[in-house]
């Protein structure tokens, strides 16, 4: 599934309670990280819940995996992975996740803390992409 399908599904689901359930379901589909991946180095700071992002470079593309200890946040992690994972560092740096999240209407329906957490994830992903781009 990609982010375009999520946007289409959101248009179909008019009720925000159904949209929240859908986001939670997306999070349930994420594979769990190994315990040794849930280390401080992989932690996203700025999130109320604990969030971890693991990354690797394969064939010039950054592959992200992630997890959270909160159901809705794990779904938000899934959204961010759909936006960014599998893209080159340059593509990641050119992608505006905020625009995509605005299309979903998330900023209006998430608490300020969760919105800040999303932006913290976005910044960590961009930092990782910049590091890969600099090393290329």
Q: Annotated catalytic sites, by residue?
A: 47
Let me know: does 55 contact 63? Beta carbons within 8 Å. yes
Q: Which residues contact 43 (CB under 8 A, 6 or more apart)?
A: 50, 51, 52
Q: Which residues contact 90 (CB under 8 A, 6 or more apart)?
A: 133
Let me know: does 105 contact 71? Beta carbons within 8 Å. no
Instruction: For residue 65, give the 3-state DSSP assignment.
Output: strand
Burial class (CB in 10 A: 0-12, 13-18, 19+), 38: middle
């Amino acid at each position: 599934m990609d982010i375009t399908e999520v946007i289409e599904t959101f248009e179909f689901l008019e009720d925000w309670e159904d949209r929240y359930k859908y986001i939670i379901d997306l999070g349930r589909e994420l594979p769990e990280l190994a315990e040794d991946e849930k280390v401080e180095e992989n932690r996203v700071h700025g999130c109320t819940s604990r969030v971890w992002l693991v990354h690797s470079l394969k064939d010039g593309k950054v592959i992200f995996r992630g997890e959270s200890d909160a159901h809705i946040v794990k779904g938000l992690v899934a959204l961010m992975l759909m936006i960014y994972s599998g893209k080159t560092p340059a593509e990641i740096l050119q992608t505006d996740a905020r625009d995509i999240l605005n299309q979903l209407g998330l900023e209006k329906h998430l608490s300020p803390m969760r919105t800040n957490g999303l932006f913290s994830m976005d910044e960590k992903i961009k930092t990782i992409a910049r590091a890969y781009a600099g090393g290329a």
